[in-house]
């Protein structure tokens, strides 16, 4: 699952990354741009699995093959 950390002081956001990497980048940002301020903001979570699109593609391909077989059987 990927996360993106948003700064609570400015418009900075980390790239999508695993939670430890995103947290590290947010802490580095605060040290550089907002020294002496505790990291704040919110965390955005990307819940969609990257392999989910492949599953839909396989389902569509299977339906197409099934329709082709049914059409060939009826002729």
With vertex at residue 69, the alpha carbon angle to CA 67 and CA 73, rounded to the nearest 5 degrees, is: 120
pLDDT at residue 53 in the model: 58
Q: Residue 61 and residue 68: Cα distance in Å, rounded? A: 11
Instruction: Report pLDDT digits (tens) over 2-59.
Output: 999 999 999 999 999 999 999 999 999 999 999 999 999 999 999 865 555 567 788 8
Total of domains in the chain: 1
pTM assigned to the model:
0.61
For residues 63 and 51, the answer to whether their CB atoms sit within 8 Å is: no
pLDDT tens per residue, range 57-68: 888 888 888 888
């Amino acid at each position: 699952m990927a996360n993106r950390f948003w700064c609570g002081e400015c418009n900075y956001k980390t790239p999508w990354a695993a939670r430890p990497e995103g947290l590290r980048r947010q802490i580095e940002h605060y040290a550089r741009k907002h020294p002496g301020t505790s990291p704040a903001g919110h965390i955005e979570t990307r819940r969609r699995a990257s392999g989910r699109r492949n599953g839909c593609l396989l389902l569509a391909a299977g339906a197409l093959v099934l329709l082709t077989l049914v059409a060939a059987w009826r002729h």
